[in-house]
Structure 1
Amino acid sequence: MRTVTVVGASLSGLYAARELRAQGFDGRLVIVGEETHAPYDRPPLSKEYLTGRAPEEDLALTDAEEHAELDAEWLLGVRARSLDARGRTVVLGDGRTVSTDGVVVATGASARPLGGDRRAGVHTLRTLDDARALRAELTGGERRVVVVGGGFVGAETASSCAALGHTVTVVEAATLPLVPQLGPDMAAVCAALHRRNGTALTTGASVAALHGTTAVTAVELTDGRVLPADVVVVGIGAAPNTAWLAGSPLALNDGVLCDDGCATSLPQVVAVGDVARVGGTRAEHWTSATRQPRAAVTNLLAGRTVADARSVPYFWSDQYGVRLQFAGRRREGDSVRVTEGRIADGAPGEDGFLARYERAGRTTAVLAVARARSFTRARRELARDTHETREAHETHGVPA
């Protein structure tokens, strides 16, 4: 390959560019990014950056020295419009084209809006520009903040707003926040974290309408309640950025469909990060974005799948001064038990706890709250057991 184009100046796009150079690709490297910013770290946006504890310069993932080492052409502030696979060309939104031999799709995902509402005071939190706008609104006095969605971004944003002294209400359509990820028992513990820290939690209701002419003044729920609001933060998930690939030969279904090695239906194209559905799963986590590129680049340069990107899923979340860490795959019907620490009055005890999810006598996932050392050990054991089980299945011809 003479030219490889990384579409998406994201975390996964940057890691793919690093892997290309590390694995010996010395040709032309082009990195296309819709945002004007060089790659930056997103997790702090809802936490340290929002509360003012991390300056903007701390978010940068690259510096001048690395830019020189990568020797890449950075095309920032322009989106990819289409992929001409036959002509091996990436068409940009401003009409320019990039002729290329290989493509790494790393376009990530975009926050889902709340019905396209344009009122002032209504925010999503996905990009640096989103975080800048929200942070500006949260300065200069107490605000009534309604966070729509109790997932990780919503919970972290609520925690940050509460730390800043604002009055915060989280609205979650499910019976408990984080039920799909953690199951009802552990989701109840996360709900207790909100309440213990002064955040009101409203569950089993969704947004029916927003009030206010030019700026939001209240949130009306489907159960008829009306919550006064100066600021509304919408955290109802993200959609993979695949619109630019419509009409290409790539298979799309809630992301770019890939095999276990991030290879797509086109031999010259791989996908990584939030936009990639690898082996049937699309994981919007930092660890996936940083681990997938190694196998993806190996397979891109080889022209076929020779490396596997599968790993034990892992994510973390910082809420109300407590770190939650989760690894593995929980399924409906798994039992869960606390093996270290304790839960007191429905909330984590002072020393936190470690919980194990189990199925048929085997650990399938682990959750730790303020128990980092125990979690590291349990996660390592889970990875080893999962690898051994997968090898046993594959040896006997059984899908893992």
Structure 2
Amino acid sequence: MLTLKQIRDDEAHAIERLAVKGVDAAPVIRRIVALDDRRKEIQKELDTKLAEQNTIAKEIGRLFAQGKREEADAAKEKTAQLKADTKVLDEELKKTEEELRTQIVTLPNFPARIVPEGKTAADNLVVKIVEEIPKLPEGALPHWELAKKYDIIDFELGVKLTGAGFPVYKGQGAALQRALITFFLDRNTAAGYTEVMPPIMVNEASGFGTGQLPDKEGQMYHAEVDNFYMIPTAEVPVTNIYRDVIVNESDFPIKLTAYTPCFRREAGSYGKDVRGLNRLHQFDKVEIVRIEHPDRSYQALDEMVAHVESLVKDLGLPYRILRLCGGDMSFTSALTYDFEVYSEAQGRWLEVSSVSNFESFQANRLKLRYRGADKKTHLAHTLNGSSLALPRIVAALLENNQTPEGIRIPEVLVPYTRFDMIK
């Protein structure tokens, strides 16, 4: 959530930055300014009336002591009227503050200055590309056909048990899935991230804290009786560990990693992009989260990007790194880098990771602060990244490593799978 100071310090700047995300923020900002002005007026009037009540209360005691009963009774009547007025003002203040907050939370985060302008994924900037496209055997298959051929992922059984987008991993497919999870966690903890195992359902406050609510409410599975939400990413529970927390400046950097299943409704998805593992309602993902001092958050982002790149490299996959344009960024992000791996069998790039700096946007919603050397509290910065999302990694591994003898397992995974070929 943007702070009121960010909006009011330079309204023209706020409108300009949000336009990069394709948002016409001028009407909302004008409303916010008007509400804030009215809030200040009400508060001033309320303070004046409360001060007058206190003054009269002292005067009433003096008048009674002097035997001036009529004057004291008149003062009491005036006090009663002031109390009635302050009650009305107090109610108006609460309503004004509530509407002010409602308006502010509709605004997305400011994009960083280096975010490219653009409206769609076609406008994203490729900042690095490593294309070592494998030469596949004649008649190479996409992963959904390989899954059936080797009996390692059963999409039809998933439809029977739940519905489309809920595959069942079997045999060597299940072992590969488990190997990838453990490999990613081992690499993350070796890089200084502390592993946590959070719940996979969260309350509304947690969803609001990281910005999924109310922005992505329609994409989240909702258990209405308990008002719990199935997590779309481990970012939500892991970052919320620090909701309503004040950390010490010496605690930075705070680095956490977690494996969780993730759940997304993906309403409206259709076509080739949803074949096989390309887009699922339930999938596995390992996440990294960092809470940082504002002065170091962009250095931390570069470190996270380098870490994710090392994972993709070690899996031997062709990849590219994109800096997302304003129109393709999330509601909460200030700067996002996407990783895509190339699927030769499908002839297309598949997104496998997003690494983002949210600056103070999430921290303001979370009330996550740190105590600085000046003994005052300040908003921290939060970051997160997929490290990594499994479905499209598995798809690319199966497709790019297929041979006439079977599907070759990357060398770094063999100690985890305990086999070097899916046959």
| Class of the TM-score when normalised by the shorter of the 2 chains | under 0.3
- TM-score (norm. length: structure 1): 0.19
Please identify the structure whose Cα radius of gyration is greater: 2
- Structure with higher strand content: 1
Higher RCO (CA-CA < 8 Å; seq separation 6+): 2
TM-score, length-normalised on structure 2? 0.19
